[in-house]
Structure 1
Amino acid sequence: MAARRVDPSSDRAVYRQIADHLREAIERHELAPGAQLPSESALVAEYNVNRVTARRALSVLVTDGLVAAEHGRGWFVRRRPPVKRLSSDRFAGRKEGKAAFTVDMEENQREFSVEVIFVGEANDTPPDILSRLGLGSDAPVLVRRRRYLAEGQPVEYATSYIPLEIAQGTPISQANPGPGGIYARMEDQGFVFERYDEEITARMPTEEETRILSLPAGSPILHLTRTAIASGRPVEVCNTVMDSAAFVLLYSLPAS
């Protein structure tokens, strides 16, 4: 990274000027994703500032979602180019044995992995989920929780709720439901998918969501709730929490 100077007489605080220089180096790919930033000591020597100023400059980049601080190791470039998450076409990949997340990652040429956190019967399904599924308050529901990673970075956390009558005794109740995911397994039972209703909101994450997605402080998330309708009934509700810096939501809407 090329050496830069700060202007002490500028209205912009010195630590923000240093953060600007580092941000520019990241955007120019002089500091690539995963690269280690100069240490606090290196910034102190380069800019002739104190350690508090150097640390504040690095903290600005953490807040902006560009950098992650790893205890005992240093500061590393975090942000990757955002993934373009496709519209409903992403679900068509199940006919080729691909789940929707796989389609998104392949379209964006990204390495990815999926961690299954839990699969089992729910004891405390939220009332709004039961309502969306058209079920009574004591209806049994299967829950599937997964964490999705791109290049080793957590980007998405999803929880699916499926009527137990649909999932029980099928691969849907297993950690790996097979090619095409749970929708393909439902089609194996004869369900015909009609539409996917999605609601998207932006909010700040809970402590648990921050931990699961390894989010930097102050990072908002996108909360997407999808209801899958097949053969005239809701067959799944999926609550998905996404790192807002990791995705661009791409939708194609008909003109008429």
Structure 2
Amino acid sequence: MTSRDIDTRPLHQRIAADLRDEIMSGDLAAGTALPSTAKLTERFGASNATVQKALRILKDEGLVVGRAGASVRVREHRQRTMYPSEYMQPAEPGHPYRWIAHAAERGLTAGSRLLDVREEAPPADVANALGLAPGETAILRSQILTLDDEPAELVASYYPLDIAHGTPLAECVRIRGGTPTLLAEMGFAPRSAVDLVSARVPTQEQYEALRLPSDLPVLRVFRVVRTNDDRPIEVTVIAKAGHLYEQQYTVL
């Protein structure tokens, strides 16, 4: 075994990593108490101070709650599952954005905060997905989506100029029913979407916007939405805390 085969992280980080995995897999169920400090020190061959540092990491990440002298418990919400296919379609007439409606069905309070709307040359991967030539611009709409007043997703959506110009897509205003509803009303109903999902080290913007406790990876979703004629009408880059959220897709 070489030095590259050995986990060289500080012991408290390794302890936190093992406990985090047990929490996220459900072995340490939501609402239950973690093993006592004495049992954890014995299990990991660590000092009491080292175990406390590991537990502090999990508390900062929002995975456990507790205080000195009391049991530390797994937070009830632990890891939330997101269902993209449920809120990518237009909302029913007069209804809110499907993100908000579906969260309410799960007993959560969802919201969105528009950060910026501007015309800019998008990143290379976005430009390529939209079929833009070098230097061409698109309309960017960036926002934070929240669950129970906590930041859940940092979203950057890009739209071709010939679709967005002169419409609410290019204005710094909230859109009733969300952008899928507006696109459908404009004759560009979303018919398919392809997600590329990866884990990334958070950027400075993502770290601050999502209030991340450390440099744990973010879950990055690169989504291309198309109409019936296979035209790309929206490219969205989504970032969310990888230790708090997972995505569910159904493959037939």
Please tell me whether residue 94 in structure 1 is matched to residue 91 in structure 2. Answer: yes
Per the TM alignment, residue 141 of structure 1 is displaced from its structure 2 partner at its CA by 0.7
The answer (yes or no) to whether the contact 2:118–2:170 under 8 Å persists in 1 is yes
TM-score (normalised: structure 1): 0.70
The verdict on how the C-alpha distance between 1:250 and 1:26 changes in structure 2, with shifts beyond 3 A counting, is closer
Residue number in structure 2 paired with 1:136:
133
Q: How far did residue 243 of structure 1 move?
A: 1.1
5+ long unaligned stretches in structure 2: 1-10, 35-46, 66-73
Separation in structure 1 between the aligned mates of residue 155 and residue 106 of structure 2, nearest angstrom: 20
Aligned counterparts of 1:195 and 1:187: Cα–Cα separation in 2: 13
Aligned to 1:114: 112
Within a 5 Å distance, the mapping from 1:209-228 to structure 2 comes to: 209-228=206-225
- Distance, in Å, in 2 between the alignment partners of 1:120 and 1:191 is 21
Take 2:170 and 2:56, find their aligned partners in 1: how far apart are those partners?
43
Contact 1:228 1:236 in 2 (8 A): yes
Tell me how far apart the structure 1 counterparts of residues 215 and 125 of structure 2 sit (CA, whole Å): 28
- Partner in structure 1 of residue 234 of structure 2: 236
The question of whether the paired residues in 2 share the 8 Å contact of 1:63 and 1:219 is answered with: no
Task: Return the alpha-carbon distance in structure 2 between the equivalents of residues 132 and 242 of structure 1.
Answer: 21
Root-mean-square deviation (CA), in Å? Answer: 3.5
Q: Residues of 1 paired with 2:109 and 2:33: CA distance?
A: 22
Name the TM-score, length of structure 2 as normaliser: 0.71
Select which of 173, 179, 183 maps to 2:180.
183
Report the CA distance between 1:53 and its aligned residue: 5.6
Q: 2:147 aligns with which of 133, 150, 159?
A: 150
Runs of 4+ more than 6 Å apart: 23-26
In the alignment, which of 148, 167, 170 is matched to residue 167 of structure 2? 170
Q: Give the match for residue 31 of structure 2.
A: 28
Tell me what 2:156 maps to.
159
Q: Count how many residue pairs are aligned between Structure 1 and Structure 2.
A: 213
Any stretches of 5+ residues in structure 1 without a counterpart? 1-11, 32-49, 69-76
